[in-house]
Chain A
Amino acid sequence: MRVGMKLVLVAAVVAAAGVMIGFYVSNLTTLAGSPAYSVPVQNAGSAHPIVDLEFQTVAAVGPKLSRNPDWVSYLVHTSSGAWKRETVWNLPANATVHVTWLNFDGASGLRNPFLARYQGIEGDRVMVNGKPVNHIDPNDASHTFAVPALGIIVAAPGVADDAKNQCGYAPCPLSNAHTTLKFTFHTPAKGGHFRWQCFVPCAAGWINGFGGPMQTIGYMDGFLNVKA
Chain B
Amino acid sequence: MATDPHAASGPSGESTNDGMRVVVAWLVLSAIATPLVAIYVGPLIPPGNASVQGQGQVFDNQVMTALITPILCLLAVFFAYGLVRFHAKRSEGMLDGPPLRNDSRVQLLWIVITTAMVLFLAGFGTYELLKDGSGGGQGPNPIAFPANHQHAFQVQVIGQQWQFTYRYPSLGGLESNQLVLPANTTVELHVTSLDVVHSFWAVELGVKADANPGVDNVAYVQTRKPTTFHVRCAELCGLWHGYMFNNGRVVDQTQFSSWAAQAKKLYASIEPYMNKPESQGGAPYSHSYLPAPQRRAG
Residues of A within 8 A of B (CB): 106-109, 111-114, 116-117, 119, 124, 134-135, 137-139, 146, 148-149, 151, 153, 195, 197, 199, 201-210, 214-217, 221
CA distance A21 to B292 in the complex (A): 34
How far does the Cβ of B64 sit from chain A's closest Cβ, in whole Å?
36
Of all chain B residues, the one with the shortest Cβ separation from A117 is B270
Contact of A148 among B163, B289, B291 (CB under 8 A): B163
Residues of B within 8 A of A203 (CB): 296-297
How far does the Cβ of A91 sit from chain B's closest Cβ, in whole Å?
18
Q: How big is the B interface, by class?
A: 20 to 34
Q: Is the interface of B mostly helix, strand, loop or mixed?
A: loop
- Once A202-B296, A205-B298 are accepted as A-B contacts, the answer to whether A112 and B194 lie under 8 Å apart by CB is yes
Q: Do A209 and B281 have beta carbons less than 8 Å apart? A: no
Q: Enumerate B257-298 residues with CB–CB distance to A below 8 Å.
A: 266-267, 269-270, 273-274, 281-283, 289, 291-298
Of all chain B residues, the one with the shortest Cβ separation from A32 is B239
How far does the Cβ of A185 sit from chain B's closest Cβ, in whole Å?
16
Q: Do B195 and A208 have beta carbons less than 8 Å apart? A: yes
Q: Is B246 an interface residue (CB 8 A)?
A: yes
Q: Is B158 an interface residue (CB 8 A)?
A: yes
Q: Is the interface of A mostly helix, strand, loop or mixed?
A: mixed
Of all chain A residues, the one with the shortest Cβ separation from B175 is A114
Q: Do B243 and A195 have beta carbons less than 8 Å apart? A: yes
Q: Enumerate B210-257 residues with CB–CB distance to A below 8 Å.
A: 238-240, 243, 246
Of all chain A residues, the one with the shortest Cβ separation from B164 is A148
Of all chain A residues, the one with the shortest Cβ separation from B162 is A197
A–B Cβ pairs within 8 angstroms, 9 of them: A109-B281, A112-B160, A114-B270, A116-B270, A119-B177, A197-B162, A197-B240, A201-B195, A202-B296
CA distance A217 to B240 in the complex (A): 10
Residues of A within 8 A of B273 (CB): 113, 116, 137-138
Residues of B within 8 A of A209 (CB): 291, 294, 296-298
Q: Which 5 A-B pairs have the closest CB atoms?
A: A209-B297, A113-B273, A205-B298, A109-B293, A139-B281
Q: Is B196 an interface residue (CB 8 A)?
A: yes
Q: Which has the most chain B C-beta neighbours within 10 Å: A124, A138, A221?
A: A138
Q: Is B34 an interface residue (CB 8 A)?
A: no
How far does the Cβ of A214 sit from chain B's closest Cβ, in whole Å?
7
How far does the Cβ of B74 sit from chain A's closest Cβ, in whole Å?
41
Contact of A113 among B195, B266, B270 (CB under 8 A): B270
Q: Do A207 and B267 have beta carbons less than 8 Å apart? A: no
